[in-house]
Chain A
Amino acid sequence: MQNELLKYLRKETLPTAFCAGCGCGTILNVFCHVIDEMNIDPNDIITVTGIGCSSWIPSPYFSADTLHTTHGRAIAFATGVKVMKPDKHIIVIAGDGDLSGIGGNHLIHAARRNIGLTVFLVNNYIYGMTGGQVSPTTPSSVKTATTPYGNIETPFRISELVSAAGAAYVARWTTYHIFHLRKAMKEAINTKGFSFVEICSQCPTSYGKRVGQRDGIDQLKDFRNKSVNIRNATDEQKFDPGNAILVGKLAERSRPEFVDSLIKINEQFEIN
């Protein structure tokens, strides 16, 4: 007996290479539900991905046109794809190190341009695939493979950053909040401009074990305990969440989408 939603996957690549309990698997699962419930034909999806564990969600697992690019550059490649195929759903899935570290510049410019991409940033607080080095989202004082004396840096608040850059839709959820996550993914896909969902995700192997959360379930419970809905957050928490994870919708705005504006330039030269 098989899950019908497996039809959205490249079945010959299963079982996945994800560790037992990995949040990437949950995200893939929720994504399949989303595509199914929205009745989107996978032929209308083009996934663009980078380098890292979460980049494996579309490559190879989700069955659609897939562009597996270089580290940090998925959004740049996706920009070119979107301009030439504006009617497709261009969905970028990659990690915190990929999209906010090496790829940070492309992330904020795409948000500024408001180009109609949907970005699911999988934040596992670490460079997982390479064995657990500190990432731009690793909390302070955590001992990682490259911060053996404790992380002396402060992590990015990526969703706030992307929101400030001008994205049309920004939300943050965790792999514990699967129903909210499912809804946010749908809202993001339905957004005309640049839509962004930061998905805090458990990584038992490269992160969890470094902070005493050895199983996926431990981190999921931690997400549950630490999450504060942004609607209920105090001004102080919004300014500096500390250990709390502010979840919810951070931005929803409507302004001209980049490719629409680009097409308008050409319209003045069109021969009727």
Chain B
Amino acid sequence: MAKQNKKIEILIDESLCKGCDICIELCKESVFIKSDKINTLGYYIPIPVNILNCTGCIICELICPEMAVVLKKIETEN
């Protein structure tokens, strides 16, 4: 489950995503789903609907072939 002292944001750069689904498939916590939103390149982009499950492993950020996924870890007070 999510860590309590860090909030994680996942940003998808819609202008770069080519809908390859690698982030969706390889995320161990099933954070992403393939949305029905089409970007300007014509691809269905992923959305991190289950962001609370994210462990911050950054597999998605490192593996994305378009550098379209960025994780931001924000310290929160608890």
Q: Say if the two chains contact directly (CB < 8 Å).
A: yes
Cα separation A73 to B77 with both chains bound (whole Å): 56
- Chain B interface mostly: loop
| A217 B26 Cβ-Cβ under 8 A | yes
Taking CB atoms, residues of chain A closer than 8 Å to B64 are 25-26, 29
| B63 A29 Cβ-Cβ under 8 A | yes
Cα separation A4 to B21 with both chains bound (whole Å): 22
- CB contacts under 8 Å to B, within A1-42, are 1-6, 9, 14-16, 18-26, 28-30, 32-33
- Chain B interface category by residue count: 20 to 34
**How many residues of A are counted as interface, with CB atoms below 8 angstroms from the partner's CB atoms?**
33
Cα separation A9 to B68 with both chains bound (whole Å): 13
Cα separation A33 to B70 with both chains bound (whole Å): 12
Cα separation A269 to B10 with both chains bound (whole Å): 59
Cα separation A25 to B65 with both chains bound (whole Å): 4
Which of A19, A178, A215, A221 is the one whose CB lies under 8 Å from B63?
A: A178
A-B contacts, 19 listed (Cβ < 8 Å): A1-B11, A1-B70, A4-B70, A9-B67, A15-B16, A15-B41, A19-B18, A20-B65, A21-B18, A23-B65, A25-B64, A26-B65, A28-B65, A29-B61, A175-B63, A178-B59, A178-B63, A182-B62, A221-B25
> A residues within 8 Å of B by Cβ?
1-6, 9, 14-16, 18-26, 28-30, 32-33, 175, 178-179, 182, 215-217, 220-221
